[in-house]
Amino acid sequence: MSKLEEIRNRFKNDRFATEAVGIVIDSAEPGKAVCSLTLEPHHMNANHVPMGGAVFTLADFTCAVAANGFEERNTVSQNASITFLAPAKGKRLIAEASCLRSGRTTALLEVDIRDELDTYVAHATVNAYVIN
């Protein structure tokens, strides 16, 4: 089984992100992940742009995939901050997360979210707590 398959298997039970929201893990390795979301009508708010909660869920899940790609570590979000930069113009959101620092008990990750038209939709930072 490839590393990507192992990571996808690890997150198959994260049903809110994968089933309810529809997020897909496109690539992953320890400390890095790319996930995407094809936008559907239920992701949109009253202004016909992606709901902030959908964008935040994509950011949070992508960071979780990057942080938990390390086999010997389990992490959980401790604090998260997101800045919404522009409404998506496309039909698909792509999130790229990277681990900036992974210490003994905490980790710092960042994620950039763009659409397939390269609209810079959001930037998030996540502080994670290392459980083991």
Across the range 2-31, mean pLDDT stands at 91
Nearest to 34 by CA among 106, 94, 121, 109: 94
Q: How many CA atoms lie within 13 A of 104 on its CB side?
A: 0
The pLDDT, as a whole number, for residue 123 is 98
- pLDDT tens digits for range 28-78: 988 999 999 999 999 999 999 999 999 999 999 999 999 987 667 789 999
Cα–Cα distance for residue pair 28/2, rounded to 1 Å:
10
Cα–Cα distance for residue pair 43/29, rounded to 1 Å:
27
The pLDDT, as a whole number, for residue 71 is 65
- Per-residue pLDDT at 13 exceeds 80: yes
**19 vs 15, 22, 111, CA distance in Å?**
5, 5, 21
User: What kind of architecture, by CATH, is found in domain 3-130?
Assistant: Roll (3.10)
pTM comes to 0.94
Cα–Cα distance for residue pair 37/92, rounded to 1 Å:
6
39 within 8 A of 92, measured Cβ to Cβ: yes
The domains of the chain are located at 3-130
